[in-house]
Chains A and B, each alone.
Chain A
Amino acid sequence: MLKSPIRKVVIVGRDEALWLAANVLWNSFRRTGLEIVAVELPSQLRPADVIPTLRNQQAFHDLMRIKEAPLMAATQATFSLGQRFIGFSESRPPFLHAYGDSGWAINRVAFHHQWVRARAKGLDVPYDDFSLNAMAALQGRFFVPAGDTEGQECDYGYHFDASAYCQVLKQVILESGIGHVAAARLNDVSRDPDSGDITAITLPDGQTVTGDLFVDATGAESLLLGAAMGVPFQSWAQWFPCDRILTTRAAPIKAMPAFSQVTAHHAGWVAQFPLRNRTAVQQVYAGSQMTQQDALDTAARMAATEFAEPVVRSFTAGRRQAAWSHNCVAIGEAAAVFDPIDSCSIQVILTGLSHLTSLLPLDRDMAPEAREYNLNVLTSLERIRDYQICHYKLNQRQGEPFWDRCRAMAVPDSLAYKLRLFEARGHLVEYDDETFLDYDWRAMLIGHGLIPRAYDIVADHLPENELAERLQKMLGFIKTRVQAMKPMDAHFT
């Protein structure tokens, strides 16, 4: 029987993790009598920061009753059809990781098998040329996928100005009935000596906030789960060589592209994210290989930055041993810090919130929920980690110590297995709780040059001349569709 139900949830944190958690939990439980308090710590965002997303996350914005057009207008936002990778190999051309599929299955055989087969016979068309997303992006167009893709899966994400996005989320939720306290820091976290549960937090003015469940949205500091509960951090530094992120800005791009761009350099990479009023720039590098000044100079050379308020922060990729311990659930970076390379941070927050919503504990004794949550969420974090490792492991920049070491590193077994099967047969191993979909994996692996040695032999059933015809038809369809599309800014309202 339930002894002590959950009546009050306290969310402690800042920025997008705090405001997304507050919005999602409030809208999911506002009619249940659940009391929700948001304890807001000072923002760590800088004016140059950008929040890119992997998906359009419409279900969440619907739940929060946030409409796309006004949200985008308020946040200098642009659409993103994918992310382009440049310079990860000396010999291979850039590629676009489209947020959508490439090609179409033929007689139940996945497209990439036919592409590998055609390539072996001399086809010289890149894999991403068969993607509506990629072709639209590269030709300066944008589209909202509807029923006109002949069944090709297509999605899109956004680039938001980080502070403005948080401002919108904050404004919406403060108009609701949620409790809100702003504090400069946490003075103390009290725990029950018997159960180890958090009973209250104390703020600098002496105010204490009690609760039944505490959500840690404090970012990488992990003030509740890490600092107060002592849940250890497991570093992934052996797979992620970058530990500095410098953010700055450059002039806006005239014909705004609907994609972001990541360009490798000798000790990391520089990313450019188009916004309406500027280009957000991230320079991500290894502090041991590059001084801050080098980093700035390199970024300026690669992205024509304006040197406006460059800020450097350190990070270590890794995750907490558990994401939920006792009565404390960590959301976003409080649970896991990712290399910024794949724009997955919002997705990580939303995955956590989605599991929390369907596992909001029934009782103060919440070990069963914590176990189920950790089972799902920790797996999903590791699958993202595996995906990101590939950008480093699969590089083909010879003779640079940073990149040479990455190629030589041993990767986690789960990933080694996946790479082996893809290389052997183009067979994509998909585990439970994958955040990156099958098409994300294929675009990235093939883009980095992991071309399968063999393909599904069922592909051979289709005669070669017929295959050539089908491929031409696909390219023709994409060309026609893309020509009819408008530039991205024509979609802004």
Chain B
Amino acid sequence: METQTPRRIVILGGGTAGWMLAASLVRTFGPHHATVRLIESGDIAIVGVGESTLPQVRDFNEFLGVDEVEFMRETNATFKLAIEFRDWARLGDRYFHPFGSHGHAIAGVPFFQCFLRAKAHGHDFNIDDFCYPSVASREQKFELPSEDLSSIRSTYSYAYHFDAYLYAAYLRRWSEKRGLRRTEGTVVDVTLRPDDGFIQSLTLASGEVVEGDIFIDCSGFRGVLINQALKMGWEDWSSWLPCDRAWAISSDLDDDGTATTRCTAREAGWQWRIPLQKRIGTGYVFSSRFTTEERAREVLLQNLDGAAQGDPRLIKFQSGRRKNSWYKNCIALGLASGFLEPLESTSIYMSQIAVNFLMRLFPGHPVDPALAEEYNRLVDIEYTRVRDFLVLHYHASAERKGDLWHHVQTMQLPDSLAEKMDIFKRRGHIHRYKDGLFSPASWIAVYTGQRIEPGGYDPQADNIDLDSMLGTMNDLRDRIASNVATMPGHYDFVRRHCRLSTKSAKSGKSHA
């Protein structure tokens, strides 16, 4: 039997990943089960890019018992119903990747197959019209989903846009209030146990030696523990995801009040737009292979929605992941474990799911290597599935011109993605899988938005009477439109529900 005596857990690094884990540990373990210490240097900036999240973050907040209104007021938060993609397959294109699905099965046949059949009969519907949160996004509306599950107003989920720096600060206050010990300091040395190479202790610049049983590396790309001390390698994915830089800045709010993150394709990458309560976080993700930093800065500054707040900040990164995120008694989280560009707002999710897996597989004494193997297997599935989904956006950019776009349009795809695309192109069939992000609805949104047209559709769709099928579809579209029309505007709702507290408005200003 593993012993379940108190464990000494040391977290190195206090970014979003570090504080999410710290809060989870504090929430889960009493002091007789574990002692948690977080070490962060006060002088390293958090690479927080004005964060856009997925609905799963609400589970996390609920687990902590976070009050939504309070949390939103303190993190400059707004709501999010979808990501809006502009100019991806073709200049002028616009589509939504929503937190909800398109329609519902008709007579047992998946809605998307009905949609394809309607199209084959000359009914050129817009798929967004059948998805409640897509229409609400387009109309810049928001309200909380209805609790009446029979209502069409319950057919969506939502997430937030917030200031990642303020969110980390919020989690820090939350954790410290519940007994977490935080130390400011920099690691100057890592001591490994001579017999098995496990981490024994960290030496801080102050001379203090911090011992522990489990070490969590949240030190960012450098990977002070997993990489510098334990030499765990990195799998580079930049051939599929060549972007490696971003310029980030804040701008003043304009009058676009949509509850969406907007991702607009640009000449050598794409630009994000994350609306917060008091400002817009924006930035240009680009590939230094296909443009220069100077040119990219220029492109960003030419494409601001409101007046710039300060100067753009350059962020460097590399797409890929740590070969094993859990090695010996060290578990890497956040950027130390992998990076995927924020095109699908996955960064907080990746930390959160890693925290979930870790809590489920948390090691006792001695560390059972089976747990590490399973953790790494589960994390791998997550990274690979998100990677494939991101690559799809770039690859299916049929009519975009420029060196970057030419590269991604003609590159060799991962087999796992090529196979999924083949069967979709043939008949709109979505390959299903159990673990990992992105349901069939997400794949449908992006495939159709990126103008991948299936050559055919399921014959079972022909089993439905055409007129009654079209009637059902028209009715659904009308019900969505008329219900959305009566919703409040997104920013009106935010002002009434969770207006930013004045204290946070000031401190949030300086972070992009």
Contact = CB atoms under 8 A, between A and B. Distances in A.
A431 B434 contact: yes
B463 A31 contact: yes
B212 interface: no
Contacts of B4: 454, 457, 460
B463 A28 contact: yes
Given A2-B456, A425-B368, A31 B462 contact: yes
Given A31-B464, A362-B456, A372 B1 contact: no
B401 interface: no
Contacts of A34: 459
B368 A360 contact: no
Nearest to B374: A421
A293 interface: no
Contacts of A360: 458-460
B431 A358 contact: no
B362 interface: yes
A236 B433 CA distance: 26
A63 B360 CA distance: 40
Nearest to A422: B370
Given A28-B460, A368-B423, A427-B361, A358 B465 contact: no
Contact of B431 (A28, A357, A372): A372
Interface string B401-437: 0000000000000000001001100110101111100
Given A360-B458, A430-B434, A453-B1, A460 B465 contact: no
Contacts of A453: 1-2
Given A421-B370, A425-B368, A458-B362, A362 B426 contact: yes
B2 A454 contact: yes
B426 A456 contact: no
B192 interface: no
A85 B63 CA distance: 39
Nearest to A463: B30
B118 to A, nearest CB: 16
A61 interface: no
Given A120-B1, A362-B427, A424-B371, A456 B459 contact: no
Nearest to B466: A31
B28 interface: yes
B178 interface: no
A358 B458 contact: yes
Contact of A454 (B1, B33, B435): B1
A363 B359 CA distance: 49
Contact of B360 (A420, A424, A427, A434): A427
Contacts of B419: 371, 375
A458 B28 contact: yes
Nearest to A357: B460
Given A432-B433, A432-B434, A454-B4, A427 B374 contact: yes
A29 B460 contact: yes
Contacts of A376: 432
Given A372-B429, A427-B374, A432-B433, A358 B460 contact: yes
Interface string B18-34: 00000000001110010
A350 to B, nearest CB: 14
Contacts of A407: none
B122 interface: no
Contact of B426 (A29, A33, A368, A430): A368
B28 A461 contact: yes
Interface in A433-483: 433-434, 453-454, 456-458, 460-461
A458 B359 contact: yes
B364 interface: yes
Contacts of A454: 1-2, 4, 364, 368
Contacts, number: 105
Q: How large is the interface on A (under 10, 10 to 19, 20 to 34, 35 or more residues)?
A: 35 or more
Contacts of A91: none
B33 A457 contact: yes
A359 interface: yes
A427 B362 CA distance: 11
A29 B459 contact: yes
A369 B457 CA distance: 12
Given A31-B464, A372-B429, A457 B362 contact: yes
A195 interface: no
Nearest to B108: A63
Nearest to B457: A362
Contacts of B429: 358-359, 372
A354 B423 CA distance: 17
A120 to B, nearest CB: 7
Nearest to A25: B460
A30 interface: yes
A67 interface: no
B197 interface: no
A318 B254 CA distance: 65
Contacts of A301: none
Interface in A104-140: 108, 120
Contacts of A369: 423, 426-427
Nearest to B378: A429
Contacts of B374: 421, 427, 429
Interface string A1-20: 11000100000000000000
A30 B459 contact: no
B116 to A, nearest CB: 11
Contact of B455 (A1, A33, A357, A420): A1
A493 interface: no
A387 to B, nearest CB: 16
Nearest to B431: A372
Contacts of B455: 1-2, 362
Interface in A372-414: 372, 375-376
Contacts of B433: 432
A372 B28 contact: no
B459 A6 contact: yes
Given A120-B1, A432-B433, A432-B434, A32 B459 contact: yes
Chain B CB count within 10 A is highest, among A2, A375, A421, for: A421
Given A108-B63, A358-B429, A31 B465 contact: yes
Chain A CB count within 10 A is highest, among B427, B464, B465, for: B427
A427 B374 CA distance: 9
Interface string B441-472: 00000000000000110111011110000000
A457 B368 CA distance: 13
B463 to A, nearest CB: 5
A457 B434 contact: no
Contacts of A31: 462-465
A351 to B, nearest CB: 13
Given A358-B460, A372-B429, A420 B33 contact: no
B353 to A, nearest CB: 15
Interface string B354-390: 0000011110100010110010000000000000000
B460 A32 contact: yes
Contacts of B371: 421, 424-425, 427
A420 B426 CA distance: 40
A363 B457 CA distance: 11
B92 to A, nearest CB: 29
B361 A425 contact: yes
Contacts of A457: 4, 29, 33, 362, 364
28 contacts: A2-B455, A2-B456, A28-B460, A30-B463, A31-B463, A31-B465, A32-B463, A108-B63, A358-B429, A360-B460, A372-B429, A375-B419, A425-B361, A427-B360, A427-B361, A429-B374, A430-B435, A432-B434, A432-B435, A434-B434, A453-B1, A454-B2, A456-B362, A457-B362, A457-B364, A460-B4, A460-B33, A461-B29
Given A421-B374, A460-B29, 19 more contacts: A1-B455, A30-B463, A31-B463, A31-B465, A108-B63, A358-B110, A363-B456, A368-B423, A372-B429, A421-B370, A421-B371, A424-B371, A425-B361, A427-B361, A427-B374, A429-B374, A431-B434, A432-B432, A456-B360
**Shortest 10 CB-CB distances between A and B: which pairs?**
A32-B462, A362-B456, A454-B2, A424-B370, A31-B463, A432-B434, A372-B423, A360-B459, A368-B426, A457-B362
